[in-house]
Structure 1
Amino acid sequence: MNIAMDLSEKEELEIRKSIAITNMKRLVIGLTITALMEIFIIIFHDLPGIRSSESADKWIYTSYLILHGIISMLGLYFAVYFRIVTKRELARNISFYENCIYFILGIILLSITLIAGLDQFTTGQIVAFGVNIIYSGLVIIIKKPYNNIMYITCFLTFIIEMIVFQKDKNILFSHLMNGAFFFVSAYFLAKFVYNNQVSHLHKNMKLEESNKKLQYLSNYDLLTEIPNRRYFKEQLEKILIDKYNTSKSYIVVMDIDFFKKINDKYGHPVGDEILKQFAKLVEENITSDDLVARFGGEEFIIFISNMEKENIEERVESLRKVIEKNEFKVGDTIIKITSSFGISILDRAGELNFEKAYRFADEALYHAKESGRNKIYPIKNYDA
């Protein structure tokens, strides 16, 4: 990125893409306005100049016409082209579009520089040229080595033109000094704008990354890396609104049998590892439409939808068997565990309805434990 900043490959690519998008948006507007202005100049300056000038001077206005024509045609073409480029296309070939951006800018700057040389035969001024050069460094975000190539090429061309076309030594000296000021100003302005933009984008990316981490910390259980209680309830509310009255839904509350004994026997680090493996096992055995969360301690909760009441117990029983058969390995220790389950029907959205369904499921879990553990307490006809 040509700036003293520690950027990952992904960050650099995102910054390049963002800068390219910004440049193309600005060029769509700038090139359109420039092309229309050039057409206006061709109609009211170049063509009348060719008709009214003497034969010896026709080449000047003909050259004006050619340069203004190049700027207007390329300007209109790239204004339309950049307008229709999608972000997906840009991401697939970022280098190509960067080259397109700097190509059209370079051609326009060089054409403006050549026009400044022709102006020495007519107005003798370089003000319009200087304004355009500085404006390019301010509006378009130009990176190395493109800024070096463009400005050095244009500056050398400018010097040669002034020496060849401007015969008045005092005016020549003034133009060379002013031209040097224009180019140096444009160069350092372009460098400042580019570095400032990269720094700004990088800070925004870091801020966005920090916000995502904070969002993750607030939504997910750090130990098991599955949703926590708050995020589960938040997502459940959205799901139920989306699927309101279209499918039957269920709350399954489960916990690990005799988990306290595991902690007492093997220690809390082993218990934590069991919880992590348990959460992963449950995630692997539910569908993408289901939602699982750690509700606290060794208690987990699952939301299941799109299933008839006759099939839900069979589904949960299948999960119970998977847990029962699984071997949880922590270091050299293999631990077998079981789980108890309580199920409740949930068919309406709203905080009150969830809390009611959760209470029924929690009561069912209590009965499952009281009746021997490692089992599912049958669903009763609860009116959730």
Structure 2
Amino acid sequence: MNENILVIEYRDEVVEKIIDILKERHYNPIPTKSRSKGIEIANESSIDLIILDADIGDSQGLQLLETFKTEENTKGIPVILLSTPYRKMEFIEEAIGLGIDDLIFTPFDEMEFIASVNGALKLKKLFVENNKLIKQNNDIEEELNNLKDVSEEHYKSFKEAQKKYDDILNYDLETGLDNKKEFYKQFKKFVFESVRHEDTIILSCFCIDGLENIINEFGIMAAEEIILQFTKVLKDASREEDLIARFGNNEFIVAFKRMDIRLYDEKVEEIKNLVRKNELDYNGMLIKYTMSAGISYTAYRKTYHFENNVEKEVAPSLLALHNAKRRGFASVYIHPTIIRK
């Protein structure tokens, strides 16, 4: 991790506790008791998070918070405010109005504290990534606008820049998988090809069981690691000609091309076994998880008429996943459209 965390706190025992917790999890705490020194460090150092005592400098914590949230060099740094639980509601409302990222009452629980730190750092990371994407998007749009007016000899460069722009819109940034829009686009081609060759398609929708519980207990960063692990499982269990996409935060779909209807049981069991072997070592805790699946089957024969409605073709597998989740963890539901042979 090694993120730099500025700790502005005047109580020695609280500072020592915070430093121990942060160092144990490989963060880099930078403590100070001085209000002015805190401003100096925040402006001159690379700080990822500020933990600020509301009572620093004769209860001037909110003034310091306002400084951090308005100065150009520090307004992008998340701030966690430490306070006693006896503050009036007006104080809390003022802190929220100044843009506080979290509020922790002392004395605090260690796990709640580190969950708050992880959450604030995650927000910082998303803020930075979002700004990068916005800048990248603006740069590419500017490049496209400039290239539209160039001569024919530069047309190839224009098309390459356009492809970069399209890529940003067509894949999931976290997993690298196609997003729903791109899946529907590719699946439509998939369908026409299957009609032409009289092939079959097994559509499998998956979700990670209890993902919200994992977020609540271990934090969103642990959940993201599990999502990446599960993405790798789906890639390992599929072939190059299959389609894989992320439909939502916890909704994945795989279109298995030319799969015999009798083989989908084996394929789902293979994915289950790969998931069983996964475990995440997160801050000294082992996290295991299961997955649920919904399966549908589409037979494209000479007598089949494709209605050009991709969403309608995918809907049975999504409904099957919904029914699987209703049955509990590690469930598999087969849509009635599948006829066992």
TM-score, normalised with respect to structure 1: 0.43
TM-score, normalised with respect to structure 2: 0.49
Q: Which has the higher helix share?
A: 1
